[in-house]
Amino acid sequence: MKKHPTDLAALLFGLAFAIAGGIVLVTQATNFDVSPQWGAAVGLIVLGVVALVATVARMGTDPYAPAPVPVREPAAPASSEDPDE
């Protein structure tokens, strides 16, 4: 499979919806009430950490750079002379 660059915007939006869904599930399934302010704060902190990690991980790598080509030694030329003569 060909390696492709990470789509940071899609990753962040997906995580935002997952965090929002998790907060709704926790609020509905338990008696623990997560206020919108705390939910937004925790969600934004998690998204910021993920964005920071993804940015640092991508530094120094160019997804469009060509693959390195191995260097080979040139073959020795065939000699027609006999060293024993």
- 37 is a domain residue: yes
CB contact at 8 A, 23 and 43: yes
Q: Residue 22 has what pLDDT?
A: 85
Quick one: tokens of 55? 């940015």
- 82 is a domain residue: no
Quick one: tokens of 84? 């024993």
Q: Which residues fall within 8 angstroms of residue 14, CB to CB, at 6 or more apart? A: none
Comparison of pLDDT for 77 and 63, the residue scoring more: 77
CA atoms within 13 A on the CB side of 47: 19
For 41-54, the pLDDT digits (tens) are 888 888 888 888 88
CB contact at 8 A, 69 and 31: no
Question: Could you give the angle at the alpha carbon of 42 between the alpha carbons of 47 and 15, nearest 5°?
Answer: 35
* Number of independent structural domains in the chain: 1
- 84 is a domain residue: no
For residue 26, the enclosing domain spans 8-58
Q: Which residues fall within 8 angstroms of residue 4, CB to CB, at 6 or more apart? A: 63
- 66 is a domain residue: no
- 35 is a domain residue: yes
Residue 3 predicted with pLDDT over 80:
no
Compute the average pLDDT of residues 59-77.
73
